[in-house]
Amino acid sequence: MSINPAMPHNDTKRDMTASQPSVLLAEDSATTATLLAKYLGARYTLVHVHDGAQALAHVQQDRNVGLILTDINMPNMTGHQLLVEIRRSKDAYINQLPVIVMTDAEDNTDRNMAFMNGASDFINKPIDELELQARINVHYTLANTIRELEASRQALHHQATTDPLTGLKNRREFINHAEECLALHKRYGTTYSVIMLDIDYFKTINDSHGHDTGDKILVAVSEILPLLTRNVDTIARIGGEEFAILLPDTNRLGAAVLAERMRSTIEDHDFQVGGTRLKLTVSIGIASQDAEIVDNIGDLMRIADKRLYLAKELGRNRIAVNNEGKSSYTI
């Protein structure tokens, strides 16, 4: 495997090619590879492998490849077989790579099969330098633009659904997930529960130690909660020092057991903020679809929130599972 054999080997050239777009060439002819390196070396870093199997192995490890240029007839794995493996990959980076196919065949059989297998473009040998550069420039630029747009879309989605301080879901995204649970409940009869958790005396922490310390406490709590929950659960900071946890396929008893574990874990944890050591407690309210029989997520959250404040009224550092407090877990 060689990288742009036409380029001189010196530090200046290495620095220049390090920032160049990378094209993976699968070609068993050393003569053709040398010629293509000459055609493309001024703009692209050409990574040369000798067959489809080597090309597939390379893209699975190298995330810098932006386009594949492949011959059809190669040992071990042909260009057609490489195309099939690229397009069937479960890795989005790999299956979306643009692939330009080269062949010296005079009929359209290879061309048609290449396009059926997902080729982005096709070019005949002998390769015309300007045509090759134009085709690669178009497909590389298009693919890069699509990747940038997708990255922007994901960044906007992250901003719209995530609490910027803790990295947890925000209230809006929590409700979206809860609405999905409600839809499943209505369709299949599954149950789910909501936990509302609030840090006790958080205003005192802000007043005594400053808002920066308060922010660090919120982050620390947000890092503890995922350690106690499942991947299918949704944890959100829904405002101030209040957190909500959505528990699919969980009844009131299961939610109460988890809530007590959260309460005791936070109570036992030593929070170190700078040089300050703090002890925290939380109050928790619980509501479950199987016990409350509500028809919208807003009502279930309000019930859990009402019980959260009941737990605070009863002395804090406890969980409340009903509206009277008689079944509250106390320390």
In angstroms, how far is the first alpha carbon of the chain from the final one?
Answer: 67
All residues at 6 or more sequence positions from 217 whose CB lies less than 8 Å from its CB, including other chains: 199, 202, 205, 271, 273, 278, 280
Q: How far apart are CA 248 and CA 160, in angstroms?
A: 23
Catalytic residue among 150, 241, 242, 267: 241
Q: How far apart are CA 322 and CA 286, in angstroms?
A: 8
Give the tokens for residue 18.
Answer: 């390090």
Of residues 159, 175, 156, the one with CA closest to residue 167 = 159
Give the tokens for residue 274.
Answer: 């700078």
Contact predicate 324/312, CB 8 Å? no
| 292 labelled catalytic | no
Q: How far apart are CA 18 and CA 5, in angstroms?
A: 14
| Residues with a known catalytic role | 241
